[in-house]
Amino acid sequence: MVLALDSCRLFLASHPAFNVLHAVLGADVGSDDLFVLLIGLAEAAIGAALISGRLTRLVVLGMWLPFHLGIPLSCRIKS
């Protein structure tokens, strides 16, 4: 799997609110590239947890919150 960092950089440049570590929490974890890699690792860990079949309901509950917090960010209407 190849991570398209160029498209990730363009997306985060046009939608900086999606970098929640910087926009919401105010934490300076480094560049947008590091944020993208951290999110990719979290997604891979969630996928591995789902594939393992252990604590599936807990994993889905844990995924539900960040997914639903991102919906208002993606549904903003530009005027």
pLDDT (tens digit, 9 = 90+) per residue, 28-65? 767 788 888 888 888 888 889 889 988 888 888 888 87
What is the pLDDT of the chain when averaged over all its residues? 78
Total of domains in the chain: 1
Residue 36 burial (C-beta neighbours within 10 Å; 0-12, 13-18, 19+) = buried
**Per-residue pLDDT at 79:** 44
- Higher per-residue confidence, 1 vs 38: 38
pTM of the model: 0.66
Residue 65 lies in a domain: yes
Overall average pLDDT of the 15-20 stretch: 79
Residue 66 lies in a domain: yes
Instruction: Give the rounded percent of residues in the chain with a pLDDT score beyond 90.
Output: 4
Residue 48 lies in a domain: yes
Residue 46 lies in a domain: yes
Residue 13 lies in a domain: no
Domain ranges, residue 34: 30-79
Residue 55 lies in a domain: yes
